[in-house]
Structure 1
Amino acid sequence: MRSVIAESTASRQRIAGETGLSLATVATVVGELITAGLLVEVGFEDSAGRPRGLVAVAPAGGVLIGVDVAETYVRVDLFDAALHFLDGVEERLHPEENRPEQVVGHIVAAIRAVLQRAGIPARRVLGAGISVPGQVDRDGGVSVFAPNWNWHDIPLRGLLVESLGIPLHLDNPLRAAVVAELWFGAGRRREDVIVLTLGTGVGAGLAFGGALYRGATNSAGEWGHTTLVLDGRPCHCGGRGCVETYVGAPGIIQHLRELDPDSPMLHGNDQTATIDALAHGADTGHPTALKVIAETARYLGAAVANLVNLVNPETVVLSSWVTARLGEPLLTEVQAVVTRHALRRPLTAVRIVRSTLSGDPVSLGAATLALEGFLSGITGGRSGRR
């Protein structure tokens, strides 16, 4: 499916070359996907021998939902089976709206709203991927630990199924973001990729050998809770000096408050408004805004250099909403800091880039995870190299 989506139309021979699977296996799986209504035959392409049949994603192959639940918003996006964006709904989460039933209420309302607006019945939904912050038991559908909300062992999928009645796939934004980059972004055709999500929380999605790396308990990538400063700022996880406390949105805002407690760029508890004001200040050359971004980049660059030295990746992608708002000024400073701190050999092999995916990468990745879950049910979990 990844090969067909990337090329719009593809022959079985081209899919075999892309995936490393045998032509016989490709023919079998394509047949299963046609039977399931996800692929259709769309004609032939010329070749030196017999004409090769082409397949494409079926226009009526069903829809997918991607849900990005963050500490400040719930974003629900609707996609067709080729993961083309159709419609989206976003609801703000206020700081006090952090109880499970409140978050579930926003998710359910947003999913119902986007389906109603698009005129699509629930029976056409192939699956919904739900990304929630923190540690997740994806098989059990449980939010194991979300430190910014003090959630422990919340049976989130069970609470949602009661109201929605559609296939649900629970995971966290680190996994969703790296899957989106592997399928559609800077990670496509790359083997070793790190995707750093910078928002209220901070983490690292990991891919090795072109495949998502989860770790023994689906907890890999909690880079935001590695120690950057001994005995540093207190963190919601219970530790001190975590990466997240210096480069997450609250940490960036604390940099600003320490530099200028009366700054007009500060907007109380509204993280989005404050980060937007910082971005605008940097664009206009405001010295305080530039100092805050430089200080953030100093910490972020040191933490990224540690990852470069440890993992030796081909690509590091800065993603999520803080990256999107602070943009090139942050990226440029981070690249300079990494150059000073990373070892020469791994540094020569790595690209550090911003995500170029349009829309919300996490909701796109969550919908992609839902598609992978649907496909696993069809093919019995068979997969290729990637």
Structure 2
Amino acid sequence: MKEIPGGVCAPKGFRAGGIWCGIKASSRKRDLALIYSEKPCTASAMFTTNKVKAASVLVSREHVSGGVLRAVIANSGNANACTGEAGIAAAKKMAELAADLFAINPKEVAVASTGVIGVPLPVAAIESGIESLGNSLKADEAGHAAALEAIMTTDTRRKDGAFETDIDSKTVRIGGMVKGSGMIHPNMATMLCFITTDVSITREMLDKALKMAVKRSFNRLTVDGDTSTNDTVLVMASGEAGNAAINSEGPAFTLFAGLLQSLCVKLTRAMARDGEGATKLVTVKVTGAASEDDAEMLSKAVAGSSLVKAACFGADANWGRVLCAMGYSGAEFDPSAVDVRFASRAGEVLVCSSGSSIPFSEETAKNVLSEEEIEIVIKAGTGKGDAAAWGCDLTYDYVKINGDYRS
């Protein structure tokens, strides 16, 4: 497996683009994106677990249920959530407008939105820009970059990636983009994530691979404890790579599932690093738990603790907050068997052994925790369960950003 450029345009058969159409009057950034496949794609998706679901989620869930998609159209600046029947009509209109560009069935188009909740979506702006959006499509890095910019809101950096590997002596590629900076918490993390691949795979096996990847990536990410109304992760597989169709578990499926998971973890880390107001990426690694599920609960509780996040911001080696979060995680473990280390490129320091305090250098610990990427490494016992979760520090700027989000 190697990393390649191109994002969603790296796999064969895909074009992407993005434009400004004026959805949010106070901004001139691109706000409307489109990803299109030359051929029908096997499609799979997962959506928010929030009971309050945006219109785009409801419409896309219906459209992807058929297992075949050709395109996804997405906007930023307006979430089209809590907008009633008018919101549903707007989401369906978006799909129809995109479908008309290519003379395809609107049900072959997924829809996604992100932005302010509770404000009617200005469909007229999308309609006026749809022809320009179609003309913006490119099968290269420029097309990918334009689409990615168009789905960003409070994001401060690009979050994308692409990989390739060989399956059945055929080169298979996968690429993706994601937006997400705040209102992020399992299950799933708040995001719009679009993934393309040219692998040939059945719907059943694509569903299986996506669920595995999401469980070990996006569902282990937290920024602020809020799960959105709009979360969407969507995969389209064109089959253009020419490999024998993956229709069961085996070596080919294992290779593809690993490829998808690697991409999702890369995107997850990028979202954690770009958490609203964040200055640090925090990775929590747990080993020795009774099971993988217990390790996951422990790592997510620590990564999601406001007190742990605040300590990371202040480079304060307050390991007691780590054990406290473990204690309310719901996981089975023996507190007297816990070891905790803080690590970064500045080194590492053991701060807790067998659940108790030990002498350590506060200066060394502060240096370790002052880096932009830090790890909290926990040995929970002698079991075989391990897992990682990702988050960020909690800063003054988080409140500042979210205090005036609507303006």
**Per the shorter chain, which TM-score range?**
under 0.3
More helix as a share of residues: 1
TM-score calculated relative to the size of structure 1? 0.25
TM-score calculated relative to the size of structure 2? 0.24
